[in-house]
Structure 1
């Protein structure tokens, strides 16, 4: 049976695609009718119609296979959300299989800060492919990894000196947690195995990371709350970005830190911006006070509570500073990076640590015995990803990224702030290249996404949040398309055209799949 299946597959693959036979027929007809302009016009029209039909059928088959075989993120396998098929991307534009173009206001989940088809990153990838795409990192090293590590140490806060190159942002958080736990255990200090964080956080979808996401309103709470490690959660930071932080604002955090110091391995926070947990922008003074509190707890610097900062979403300029912790003028003991590290080209993460953490966890600084860090992803320090990441960071530093982010921020403020007057809107907030419109009611994502697609814009709302985190290269005209789309959603919600369930998801997405003019 398997052999027959292979034969059928081979015969199917050997058949020329429909477009080949169509092209041969049309070519013969054209040869016979070169002297007849009218017939030539009919042939051209027929060719165009056939090509459109073939493309349409090919796209339908692609999407059908997608539904049949693929399990997309944050979706049900039994009730999948329909997808749009992307053919290629360039600049800030996604081109769909049917030829439609969408301006990407999401930077592919906040990663593609340079946009798509970036010559410098393409060249870095091409050159590295010419020598070595991958090699294991156990017992071996290579130039791209060393160059990237040197550059990351150069651009991150000064105390961070050691770099662990892993394969995603979530894994960077897992490594950070392991470093913190091992920092105490390697020195014979038992019991310090819990983490302190704040409500409203998000740190990834792997188990260690999920355990420090919001335990009540987080996306993992319902399915996994009962099986995750139990950590400590202080209230979400109350003072907003730009506001001072009073002592009462950190009082409960300080109390929890003091009462549980003997069992704490580390504090972990997203600095300034809590991303997927609610797009909450909090005070730099609050972050500064947390650093001070961590330093105060311990008889010496070796017994202070460690501070882990998760800059996976905020790192590399998103908030207007190179790293969000720069707003507070502080440095963590451990730093997590990802997303924009490779400019959105390849999956990669990095965990940076101070010498004190690295040595304490590994055998120095009073450790009882030398201990290796037991983490080694197969694709850790992948040479191709390292080469592209190095090129991406260099490109960012070589461009006027700060001016670009300031311009994006000013435009988002000017064009989104008026939406705060809408009866459907709870809040509008802007920080750097992040613009958020928080609605009063949950957003029906398929309906709103389809509405935006009709306007040539790609966003992915969640919860009550309609937001954009555009590539830094986006022009004012392109960004205006994005904010116009957001305004249209708000206006439609306000007038009850969406959100009350008048249209089925399938109807909306079927309309969105149609080409203009159909």
Structure 2
């Protein structure tokens, strides 16, 4: 039995059926921006391994950091112990993240950092004697992960978790932002959110949103002023603000953090994905001193959360190296060049009858179709043209590594055009 045959029969992959799974392609190597398949193809990765591998694959500095740390020790429990990789990483995050964040909770995945952020917000108000503030509010169209608290703040209608609605805590959903990133702002945009704050603020612990880019919920790019106005509402109505930058953090939108487009600091910031450059699973929930102290006032006096692999030294060491690689290069110019080329290659696709909309920002390119695509068929066409692209629903999108060359971006854009014309 080949690896692919065994995989199809016994291994369950994300977002696919155990009865009729989508095709899988075996990877035997990876370097730079390319994945090397067992069938012989070398294909440009347009997904950065789900938005994480911003420096590409087999990066010498990240490899070295991993080797050095694993020769020292790969893991120790974080309860009662600490280590240099975690200390260095936390220092660096506090230096580069929006000003005012002062505490770092190191988690082991993006979804867990969302769980942590939500628990922080609810416990904060409970410890202030305001336990009635236990609901969250969020714009529709969002996606925050697949664990239960995270699912509860994903879009309840068009998201992927509708089956679990009766098992999830019910939160408050405002209309999704509609004004595009580069369009003219109108104050009516924030009016529905304001109305919900006015009506429900006494029960709202926190507003949670993905600043600037709603990711897996629909890849929408929206106006920075919306984020700024949400910050103002939270301040006015005594509500905490949680920003989910798991997908957007570390330069993806053209700013180091998407919050920087709006020049705001959230009360809680969730990070993941690109934190380690795609090498290891690691996440973080940062918060202000006010939140950290408030969470620990009154009973139980501690924050009751502790993932087994919290602060994993190996992951922290690689994260430190990844951040250094990012900040020691002209990443903004690289991301801007990717954005320019994505616009040149993808915007003309709006003329195709099958295409609803094209939008690009930073190292993100999105082609929204009028109908859902057949992933198995169109992905095979992408591979024929030398590209790895993983669509979902109506969306064909790319988030390539920041090291992608002009040739790499051309390959991705040409593959998308070919796949649309041939397979839709």
Q: CA RMSD in A?
A: 0.9
CA contact (8 A) 1:103 1:482 kept: yes
The answer to whether the aligner puts 1:259 opposite 2:194 as a matched pair is no
Aligned counterpart for 1:396 among listed residues 326, 341, 347: 326
**Cα distance in structure 2, aligned partners of 1:423 and 1:337:** 38
**Cα distance in structure 2, aligned partners of 1:130 and 1:337:** 27
Aligned counterpart for 2:266 among listed residues 325, 332, 352: 332
In structure 1, the residue matched to 2:234 is 294
The answer to whether the aligner puts 1:474 opposite 2:370 as a matched pair is no
Aligned counterpart for 2:25 among listed residues 59, 84, 91: 84
In structure 2, stretches of 5+ residues that fail to align are none
In structure 2, the residue matched to 1:314 is 248
C-alpha deviation, 1:81, in angstroms: 1.3
What is the 5 A alignment of 1:8-19?
none
In structure 1, the residue matched to 2:92 is 151
**Cα distance in structure 2, aligned partners of 1:119 and 1:358:** 37
CA contact (8 A) 1:95 1:102 kept: yes
C-alpha deviation, 1:369, in angstroms: 4.7
**Cα distance in structure 2, aligned partners of 1:115 and 1:205:** 26
CA contact (8 A) 2:247 2:273 kept: yes
The answer to whether the aligner puts 1:435 opposite 2:376 as a matched pair is no
**Cα distance in structure 2, aligned partners of 1:67 and 1:441:** 27
The answer to whether the aligner puts 1:323 opposite 2:253 as a matched pair is no
**Cα distance in structure 1, aligned partners of 2:300 and 2:16:** 44
The answer to whether the aligner puts 1:162 opposite 2:129 as a matched pair is no
What is the 5 A alignment of 1:398-417?
398-417=328-347
C-alpha deviation, 1:147, in angstroms: 0.5
In structure 1, stretches of 5+ residues that fail to align are 1-59, 298-303, 493-497, 500-518
C-alpha deviation, 1:61, in angstroms: 1.0
Q: Deviations over 1:437-490 (max 9, x none)?
A: 111111111110011111111000011111110000010011101100011122
**Cα distance in structure 2, aligned partners of 1:135 and 1:80:** 37
In structure 1, the residue matched to 2:64 is 123
In structure 1, the residue matched to 2:417 is 487
**Cα distance in structure 1, aligned partners of 2:227 and 2:220:** 14
Q: Deviations over 1:147-195 (max 9, x none)?
A: 1000000000111010000000000000000000010111221211100
Q: Deviations over 1:209-248 (max 9, x none)?
A: 0000000010111x21111110000000011102243221
The answer to whether the aligner puts 1:274 opposite 2:214 as a matched pair is yes
Other structure's SS at 1:88 match: strand
Q: Which runs of 4+ in 1 moved over 3 A?
A: none
CA contact (8 A) 1:136 1:380 kept: yes
Other structure's SS at 1:179 match: helix
C-alpha deviation, 1:274, in angstroms: 0.2
What is the 5 A alignment of 1:357-376?
357-363=291-297, 368-369=298-299, 371-376=301-306
**Cα distance in structure 2, aligned partners of 1:411 and 1:455:** 18
C-alpha deviation, 1:370, in angstroms: 5.9
The answer to whether the aligner puts 1:192 opposite 2:126 as a matched pair is no
C-alpha deviation, 1:99, in angstroms: 2.1
**Cα distance in structure 2, aligned partners of 1:184 and 1:468:** 39
Aligned counterpart for 2:287 among listed residues 344, 348, 353: 353
In structure 1, the residue matched to 2:161 is 220
What is the 5 A alignment of 1:26-41?
none
**Cα distance in structure 1, aligned partners of 2:21 and 2:178:** 37
CA contact (8 A) 1:211 1:230 kept: yes
In structure 1, the residue matched to 2:80 is 139
What is the 5 A alignment of 1:71-110?
71-110=12-51
User: When the two structures are aligned, how many residues end up with a matched partner?
Assistant: 424
**Cα distance in structure 1, aligned partners of 2:71 and 2:129:** 47
In structure 2, the residue matched to 1:449 is 379
Q: Deviations over 1:281-325 (max 9, x none)?
A: 00001111111111111xxxxxx2000000000000000000001
CA contact (8 A) 1:192 1:265 kept: yes
**Cα distance in structure 1, aligned partners of 2:131 and 2:368:** 44
TM-score by length of 2: 0.99
CA contact (8 A) 1:244 1:285 kept: no
**Cα distance in structure 2, aligned partners of 1:416 and 1:340:** 24
